[in-house]
Structure 1
């Protein structure tokens, strides 16, 4: 149900293949390794997607709309184990993948264009595009 770019981005996240600041900092490409979204911790795959405060805020808004009540650490495994209909599982998974993709786009906008939308605007963008 997801657009092809969403699962591909999720695959890159799961294989830690995105070019985030933690890796770029080790090669002296960037001056710091702080998260572009919240600037509270080192920007890494394990931080940006489940733990970043920006990502958590977007997911909290989306999760409230979905009524899924998922814990950020292992959302896809939780969906798999739930006794939901196949349609609900697919819609929830597609929504999470859309969140990850959109957060990645927002991270890039924050880094390259120095622009960052509020989490509520990003969540609205995701829900209207689905």
Structure 2
């Protein structure tokens, strides 16, 4: 039986190895189909990191903060129409929908409204450079939505989506809150 015995990790009928100890301690890695969407060289690392957190639903959205007992009201501060969750904030919020619409218009392509990953995977026939460019723009959009949400929460005002999208396309970066 595999496991920890005394000071050693053992496999049946095998000697201890560092690899066997590491494998025993580590959970199996789950293969994801979105890693090439998030980790593209054209994207800024902070955009990719926020995108990675969104894919894992690890950002501290208001619904999560309410579950932790940190806040009482989980209403989206961008639209004031629904509880703020990852799916609401990045797909269903009217504010985020406006961002996506403006970016779609400016890039001259139809961007998804529900599943960026399914859409990105469906673009397999497109060139890698086009896919990476669009992924980088979507990651910048994700970052911008999160940045605007935090700016509104901390400073109490909301930036216009058309100004933010224009800044993204001109290469001007938003600063962290």
Question: Does the alignment pair 1:111 with 2:158?
Answer: no
Q: TM-score, normalised by structure 2?
A: 0.70
Query: Which residue of 19, 24, 28 maps to 2:65?
Result: 24
Q: Bigger radius of gyration, 1 or 2? A: 2
Question: Does the alignment pair 1:5 with 2:50?
Answer: no
Residue 81 of structure 1 is matched in structure 2 by 122
Residue 97 of structure 1 is matched in structure 2 by 139
Q: CA deviation at 1:121?
A: 1.1
Q: Which has the higher contact order (CA 8 A, sep 6+)?
A: 1
Distance in 1 (alpha carbons) for counterparts of 2:51 and 2:155: 23
Residues 40-79 of structure 1 aligned to structure 2 (within 5 Å): 40-79=81-120
Distance in 2 (alpha carbons) for counterparts of 1:56 and 1:8: 22
Deviations for 1:25-64, whole angstroms, at most 9, x for unmatched residues? Answer: 1233223111111111000011101111111101100011
Q: TM-score, normalised by structure 1?
A: 0.93
Q: Which runs of 5+ in 2 are unaligned?
A: 1-41, 173-177
CA contact (8 A) 1:61 1:123 kept: yes
Question: Does the alignment pair 1:124 with 2:166?
Answer: yes
Identify, as 1 or 2, the structure richer in helix: 1
Distance in 1 (alpha carbons) for counterparts of 2:51 and 2:129: 20
Residue 26 of structure 2 is matched in structure 1 by none
